[in-house]
Amino acid sequence: MSVSPDGFDPLGVITDWLDACRAGETTALLDLYDDRATLECDCEGVSLTGRKAVAAYWEQKLDSRVGSAFSLDDMVLTGDGVRIDYQNYQGKPVSVHFQFGPTGKIIHTNCGPTSALQAH
C-alpha cells in the first residue's frame, strides 16, 4: 500500500523530501514539515521543536552537502510512518523514521546511524 487512509502518499512525501535535500532547497524541504514538527538526531544528540529550529538544523546541512548526499538505499512503510536508509549530507549511511500528521505533513523525525535505527 502506498497511499495512506488519509489520502496522502507517504512515500511520495519522502521522495519530495529527498529531492529537496539533493537540490538544497530549504524552503521546499520545510514545506513538508508541520509547523510544530519535532526532530531528534541521534547522530548529533539534538532534539528540536518547531519550524525555525528545523530550518536552522537543515540549512547548515544542505549548504555543506557532498555530491553523494541524499541517495536512497532503502525505503519501508512502517506501522506509524516511513523509515528510510540513505546517505546523509556528508555521504554517511543514516536511517530516519518519519511520522506524519493528519494533513500529510511530517510531524516527527528520528535519525541515527543506519545500524542503530534498523531495529525500529
pLDDT digits (tens, 9 = 90+) for 50-99: 999 999 999 999 999 999 999 999 999 999 999 999 999 999 999 999 99
Pairwise CA distance, residues 58 & 97, whole Å: 16
Residues with Cβ within 8 Å of 90's Cβ and at least 6 positions away in sequence, in order, are 64, 65, 66, 69
Amino acid at the residue 6: D
Percent of the chain with pLDDT over 70: 91
In order of their start, the domains of the chain are 10-117 (3.10.450.50)
Query: How high is the pLDDT of residue 6?
Result: 54
Sign of the C-alpha dihedral computed for residues 64, 66, 67 and 72 taken in this order = negative
The sign of the dihedral angle between the CA atoms of 75, 106, 57, 64 is positive
